[in-house]
């Protein structure tokens, strides 16, 4: 598969996306550890963030992030 | 005017604090980069999947196809992201009792709804234009054949932006009607995806906001009387929906 492309060419193509994805996932994991979660437990959110590309971190920010007023 | 400015600033701060702008940016702009790359790799992927038969030969992937693919993703995925991000904009205000603070200070609801609509309209329109420009640039690099002119892509982008303004106002209305944000989001998604079906009724087609999407996908956008009527109708819908949202909020018993 993908014989027409060298590994370097593929890396160059996907570089912006790979970098973005990594930063986004790390950002969400840090947020999760620092602020806590809601709706699901930390291990489940961790699996969702790590395994689901882009939509995992987005769903965490939408449904899993603990907001300031949830803490009280 | 000062209260309106305060609402505007509040919405901006809240959008940043709740990462709503970040989610919207990702939902709209990510596919601008991802789509052309995936399309470039698609023939190679298909070669690997179907041994002996090269399906990619039947596909004519060019600049136009790449941009159309992004437009479809904006309609199919960005709409869901927008609905899920904005679902709680009004319900959360009522639920968290934040709406009481400006109201008890004698400020009006009109300003609140207009500020909310304006902030997210500006943000989403900006992201849409940025997304289209990025997609145009990436598609041009990866598919240099059969180039579509930049102006026609921008015209299509303008139509998409007007359509998304309608989507925002629709989500706000539904968000003011239901106590749970997720119901508002699901219902707005349902309405958005039902619209293409109603388009089959020819008499109604030009009066529906989805007509703008249909025209935008043609790339050859000519602002003729039919399209202008469709744009005007969409703007009228936005105004009507916003007025209903304000009236609805006025009637809600905030306790």
Give per-10-residue mean pLDDT for chain A (72 aa): 68 82 92 88 91 88 77 50
Q: Does the beta-carbon distance from A17 to B81 stay under 8 Å?
A: no
ipTM of the complex: 0.79
- Domain extents in chain B: 2-251
B103 is written with which tokens?
């109201």
C-beta atoms surrounding A44 within 10 Å: 12
Q: How far apart are the first and last CA of chain B?
A: 27
Interface test with A, best of B41, B55, B66 (most A CBs within 10 A): B41
Question: If you write DSSP's letter for every residue of B159-223 in order, what string do you get?
Answer: HHHHHHHHHHHHHHHHHHH-SSHHHHHHHHHHHHHHHHHHTTSHHHHTTSTHHHHHHHHHS----
Contacts of B227-231 with C-beta under 8 Å, sequence gap 24+, read B230/B206, B231/B159, B231/B162
Q: Does the beta-carbon distance from A2 to B41 stay under 8 Å?
A: yes
Give B20's contacts (C-beta < 8 A, 6+ positions apart).
B14, B85, B86
Q: Does B10 touch chain A (CB under 8 A)?
A: no
pLDDT of residue B66: 87
A11 is written with which tokens?
């890396």
Q: Which residue of B has its CA nearest to A18?
A: B34
Contact list in A for residue B30 (CB cut-off 8 A) is: 17, 20, 54
Whole-angstrom distance, CA of residue B22 vs CA of residue B29: 10
Q: How many contacts (CB atoms, under 8 Å) link A and B? A: 40
DSSP state of B243: H
Q: Does the beta-carbon distance from A58 to B44 stay under 8 Å?
A: no
Q: Which residue of B has its CA nearest to A69?
A: B96
Interface test with A, best of B13, B24, B30, B101 (most A CBs within 10 A): B30
Q: Does the beta-carbon distance from B18 to A2 stay under 8 Å?
A: no
pLDDT of residue B244: 92
Per-residue pLDDT of chain B (255 residues; tens, 9 = 90+): 667 777 888 888 988 888 899 999 988 888 888 888 888 888 777 776 666 666 656 667 788 888 888 998 888 888 888 998 888 888 877 777 777 777 777 677 788 888 888 999 999 999 999 999 999 988 888 888 778 888 888 988 999 999 999 999 999 999 888 888 888 889 999 998 888 888 888 788 788 888 888 888 887 777 788 888 889 999 999 999 999 988 888 777 555
Measured between alpha carbons, how far is residue B20 from residues A69, B54, B63, B96, B103 in Å? Answer: 17, 43, 31, 17, 24
């Amino acid at each position: 598969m993908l014989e027409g492309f060298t590994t370097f060419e593929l890396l160059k193509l996907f570089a912006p996306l790979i970098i973005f994805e990594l930063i986004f996932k790390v950002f969400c994991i840090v947020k999760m550890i620092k602020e806590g979660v809601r709706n699901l437990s930390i291990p489940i959110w961790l699996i969702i963030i790590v395994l689901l590309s882009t939509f995992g971190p987005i769903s965490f920010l939408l449904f899993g992030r603990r907001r300031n007023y949830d803490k009280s | 005017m000062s209260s309106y400015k305060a609402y505007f600033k509040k919405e901006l701060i809240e959008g940043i604090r709740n990462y709503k702008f970040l989610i919207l940016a990702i939902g709209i702009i990510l596919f601008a980069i991802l789509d052309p790359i995936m399309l470039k790799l698609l023939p190679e992927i298909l070669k690997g999947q179907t041994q002996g038969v090269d399906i990619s030969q039947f596909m004519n992937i060019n600049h136009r196809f790449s941009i159309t693919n992004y437009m479809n993703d904006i309609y199919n995925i960005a709409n869901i992201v927008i609905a899920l991000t904005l679902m709680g904009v009004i319900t959360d205000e009522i639920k968290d009792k934040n709406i009481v603070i400006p109201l008890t200070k004698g400020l009006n609801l009109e300003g609140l709804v207009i500020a909310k609509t304006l902030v997210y309209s500006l943000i989403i329109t900006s992201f849409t234009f940025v997304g289209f420009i990025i997609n145009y640039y990436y598609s041009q690099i990866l598919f240099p054949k059969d180039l579509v002119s930049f102006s026609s892509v921008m015209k299509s982008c303008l139509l998409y932006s007007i359509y998304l303004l309608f989507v925002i106002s629709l989500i706000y209305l539904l968000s003011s009607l239901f106590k749970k944000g997720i119901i508002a989001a699901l219902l707005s998604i349902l309405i958005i995806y039902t619209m293409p079906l109603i388009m089959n009724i020819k008499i109604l087609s030009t009066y529906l906001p989805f007509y703008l999407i249909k025209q935008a996908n043609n790339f050859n956008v000519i602002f003729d009387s039919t399209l202008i009527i469709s744009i005007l109708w969409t703007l009228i819908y936005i105004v009507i929906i916003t007025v209903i949202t304000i009236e609805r909020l006025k009637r809600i018993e905030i306790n």
